[in-house]
Amino acid sequence: MKTSIDCIPCFVRQTLQATRFVSVYPSVHEGVLREILRCLAGLDFDRPPPLVGQMIHRKLRELTGNHDPYKDIKERHNRLAVGLLPELREKVKRSSDPLKTSVRLAITGNIVDLGAKSGLTEDEVRSSIARTLSEPFHVDIEGLRREINRASSILYLADNAGEIVFDRLLIEELPLERVTVAVRGGPVINDATMDDACAAGLHEIVRVIDNGSDAPGTILDDCSLEFQRHFNEADLIIAKGQGNYETLSEESANIFFLFRIKCSVVASHTGFEPETNVLAGISKTVR
C-alpha cells in the first residue's frame, strides 16, 4: 500500500518514541527529529509506510552508534514467550481445531505487541492472551486450511521478536518439510531476526532464512535475490504483522495476512472498521 499523509503525524510520534528509547540525550532526540522531518518533507508517498520506519531506525543506529538498540528487550520477550510455550502448545493440542487455535494464538502474539514495553511481566502477557483470545477474529480458516493442503512450498514471514515464539505454534501445525520461515535481514525496532528465530527454536524444525533487508516489513526490491526467489516460488505465503501487510498488500502472490489492524489508515485500506478489536486473516480475494 502507498503511504497516506495521515501516516506522517504517526511517523513523527514514532520518531520521538524511538529516539527516546534509544538515547537519553535531548540533543540526539532533536537531531533525529529534525533529520526525519527533512526526509518526510520530500517523501515519496507511492512507497509503503515501513520505508519510513527503516529510515528512522537507520538514522537512530547511525547517530547512536548502537547496531541493535532493542537487543536486550527482544531477548527478554523471547524468553518470556518461550516460558509460555508449553502451556500454549497444550491449549492448541487440546482444542477441537488445532489449526484455528494456533492461528488465533499467532495473531495474539501480534496483538500483545511486546514492542518497547520494557517492564512487561509474564502475568500481563498471560492476561493479555486471555483477553485477546475472546476478541472477535476475522479469519478465513477454511481458506487457509485448503491452501496449506494444496501448497508444496509455504513461506512464513515472521514479524517481531517474542511474537515469533507464538508463530511457532502455528508453524508446528503446518507440514514442516514444506515450510520456510523468513526473518528480517538486520535489526530494526523489535523485529525478528535470525537470533530470534533460533531463540524460538524454529531452526530445529524448519528451514529459516533472512530477507536481507532491515525494513520493518517486506519491501521486495530491498530484499536479497535469494529471498525474492523463495517469495516468487512459494505456493502459499503467510505474512505476519501489519508491516508485512503494508508492504505486500499489492503483490499478486498467494498471501494470507495475519495481523491486528493497528491504525485507521490500514483499517480504511482493508475495509475493516478502524480502531476496533478486529483481527484479520485477509486473503487477496477478501479485499
Which residues are near a second copy by CB under 8 A? Answer: 5-6, 8-10, 12-13, 16, 26, 29-30, 33-35, 37-38, 40-42, 45
* Minimum separation from the CB atom of position 16 to a second copy (A): 6
Minimum distance between the CB of residue 40 and a second copy, rounded to whole angstroms? 5
- Burial-class residue 21 by CB neighbours within 10 Å (0-12, 13-18, 19+): middle
Nearest-approach distance from CB 42 to a second copy, in angstroms: 7
CA 254 to CA 262: how far, in whole Å? 23
> What is the DSSP code string of 211-272?
-S--SSS--GGGS-HHHHHHHHH-SEEEEESHHHHHHHTT--S-EEEEEE--SHHHHHHHTS
Distance CA 139, CA 148 (A): 14
Q: Which of residues 27 and 149 has its CB atom nearest to a second copy in the complex? A: 27
CA 171, CA 248: separation in Å to the nearest integer?
A: 20
Rounded to the nearest angstrom, the gap between the alpha carbon of residue 7 and the centroid of all alpha carbons in its chain is: 18
Contact 246, 218 (CB under 8 A): no
Of 37 and 176, nearer to a second copy (C-beta) is: 37
Closest distance of CB 11 from a second copy, Å: 9
CB of residue 149 to a second copy, shortest distance in Å: 45
Closest CA to 166 of 214, 201, 216, 121: 201
Residue number, 64 or 283, with CB nearest to a second copy: 64
Nearer to a second copy, 23 or 102 (CB): 23
Nearer Cβ to a second copy, position 13 or 138? 13
- In the bound state with a second copy, the residue whose beta carbon lies nearer, of 40 and 198, is 40
- Shortest gap between Cβ of 99 and a second copy (angstroms)? 41
